[in-house]
Structure 1
Amino acid sequence: MAVTIKEVASAAGVSVSTVSRAFTAPDQVQPQTLQRILDAAAKLGYAPNPAARSLRGGRTGSLGLIIPDINNPFFPPIFKAMQARARRQGYTILAADTDEREFDELETIATVSKRVDGLVLWASMLGEDRLRELAAEIPLVLVNRHVEGIPELRISLTAGISQAAEHLKAYGHTRCVFVNGSRPELERGKSIRESFEAHELSLAELGPYEPRFETGVHAATLVASGDATAVIAHNDLVALGVLHQLAKLDVKVPGAVSVIGIDDTLLAATSTPSLTTIRISADEVATQAADLLIDTIAGRGGGRVVEIGSRLIPRASTGPAPR
């Protein structure tokens, strides 16, 4: 059985995260500690994947992108933009999705990591120890998941959510619903709750559900039976499900209920009515993710955190609260 990073950490008398840094960012580890870790790894026969890959014949020339759900229209433009960025630096992109399941994520990582020089993991469902083990085996960048010592691309929704709350308040809304499609370890739900509370907007919560179109359909029926006049959805896909079902129920948008999404996908601008949403720039996400991973492969990633922002794009799905 292969030696694990936990066994190396135990033998060296350090944490898993310190072992991870020893292999991914050795300049961040005290020389005596680093030598102790290297000695323990050598004694146990532990070798991280980059070393093994080098022995097998060097770089693959590919970067891995593992995302939660390729059916979400937010992700194809990111894949396309990341592919263009990587191509200019001599790489191709190998993409796969996990269907929002932890077991599928593990299997996908095991398959893809053999064929790439590094991985971008989007909103990973894996535990911190497993992610540290992975970061010790292959250059790794996390998106919207923080683990100390692992490079991260963080998408901050703070500005966009605050603008959304201001937007609804200016239209006279006071009773809002959040359709929650996020997991507890992600910050999206917490940011929405805090921002709406700061703007003195009441916020009922539905979920958490899976972040899919069908979730919005289900949630819309509950919204229609209540007294809320505004909905903010986990993402555009959920918001489009809300719009679809409200139309079937003959609930006017924005006459009776205003709806806001998050992501600003192509469908947000083309839906009926067009969807007010919080924009996350696919080009910026793709560029920063590719550059950070390439830097990490070259040993320059360290534990860097790169943050990109967001902003509200008002469209026809929001308007004055009904009198």
Structure 2
Amino acid sequence: MAVTIKQVASAAGVSVSTVSRAFTAPDQVQPQTLKRVREVAAELGYSPNPAARSLRGGRTGSLGLIIPDIANPFFPPIFKAMQARARRLGYTVLAADTDEREYDELETIAAVSKQVDGLILWASTLPAERLRELGAEMPTVLVNRHVEGLPELRISLSQGIAQAAEHLKAYGHTRCVFVNAEHGEHGRGKSIRQVFEAHDLTLTELGPYDPGFETGVHAATLVAAGDATAVLAHNDLVAVGVLHQFAKLGVAVPGQVSVIGIDDTLLAATSTPSLTTIRISADEVATRAADLLIDTITGRGEARSAEIGSRLIPRASTGPAPG
């Protein structure tokens, strides 16, 4: 027979409402009392019902993570790290993807928001006004998207891109290609162009395409027909598509063309050749995003935004420019 909240309250010597707050609003309970209630609950085997908590206390104990594409190997480690961080803070994480489509994002948000205390939206495609409306309805944190008035986590590629440009310049490259797989005004192409031009590197942009393996295959064929000696891909998945097609076409990497990805997923270390890439720390992204959302939910802390950086991880796919 399941242990009831009344039994926990009686054993802990507190009221039922105090036990309820210990699980739905722990910041409203004295630390010693909170510790006592949770110890007793654990001893008795009490497990609060998230749905009931939602109805009684307005909290579900869950965070929502909406990402563009769960098939992208960049996102599973972030979900796993965020789940671990959330558990330590007394939350669970519900994740869903949108297939990079605005309509699917709206439907997903509508479904998930009923089950969570707040949302993390990754590179949202929704209009700014709709995001502001959502932020007024429930705690919302944006990742890689800026909307005035909403908490955000920025992933800065500036340092990693500058290091990539310096790396290629040192190897004697002058003609480069950027495979763009990000639509809209929020893409990274502009900053990449500025940095590469500052290093006297000519940059041709292909796309925008979809951010998948097939994009890399398509782009590699175009690069092979030109005179570029280096490729910077939108992400590791695109970069691996480039490597795959170059191997089929007999283009030597890095002998004829050097290739750089972005993200530093497992693909980068296991590809042939191993992929030089710009690392974004999954653990740091997950921790900062989860903390920012929980602070927004509970009203603790004044931070409305945070930023993490990036760095180049050189591997075997880059080398001296030919000739």
TM-aligned CA deviation for residue 90 of structure 1: 0.5
CA distance in 2, matches of 1:179, 1:130: 30
Q: How many residues align?
A: 271
Give 2:137's aligned residue.
Answer: 137
Give 2:311's aligned residue.
Answer: 311
Q: How does 1:173-322 map to 2 (within 5 A)?
A: 173-300=173-300, 304-322=304-322
Q: How does 1:47-196 map to 2 (within 5 A)?
A: 57-196=57-196
Does 1 or 2 have the higher relative contact order (CA < 8 Å, sep 6+)?
1
Residue pair 2:54, 2:60 contacting (<8 A) in 1 also: no
CA distance in 2, matches of 1:299, 1:132: 18
Residue pair 1:150, 1:303 contacting (<8 A) in 2 also: no
Residue pair 1:216, 1:242 contacting (<8 A) in 2 also: yes
Give the greater-gyration-radius structure (CA): 2
CA distance in 2, matches of 1:296, 1:211: 31
Secondary structure at the aligned position of 2:205 is classed as: strand
> Identity of counterpart residues, as a percentage?
83
After TM superposition, the score normalised by the length of structure 2 is 0.82
Counterpart AA for 2:242: V
CA distance in 2, matches of 1:305, 1:172: 39
Over 3 Å counting, the alpha-carbon distance change for 1:156 and 1:291 in structure 2 is: same
After TM superposition, the score normalised by the length of structure 1 is 0.82
Kindly report the root-mean-square deviation, in angstroms, between the aligned alpha carbons of the 2 structures: 1.3
CA distance in 1, matches of 2:66, 2:233: 23
Moved over 6 A (4+): none
TM-aligned CA deviation for residue 303 of structure 1: 6.9
Q: Which runs of 5+ in 2 are unaligned?
A: 1-52
Residue pair 1:165, 1:196 contacting (<8 A) in 2 also: yes
TM-aligned CA deviation for residue 299 of structure 1: 2.0
Q: After alignment, is 303-312 or 54-63 more displaced?
A: 54-63
CA distance in 2, matches of 1:183, 1:144: 13
TM-aligned CA deviation for residue 56 of structure 1: 5.7
CA distance in 2, matches of 1:158, 1:63: 29
Over 3 Å counting, the alpha-carbon distance change for 1:283 and 1:303 in structure 2 is: closer
Secondary structure at the aligned position of 1:269 is classed as: helix
Give 1:20's aligned residue.
Answer: none
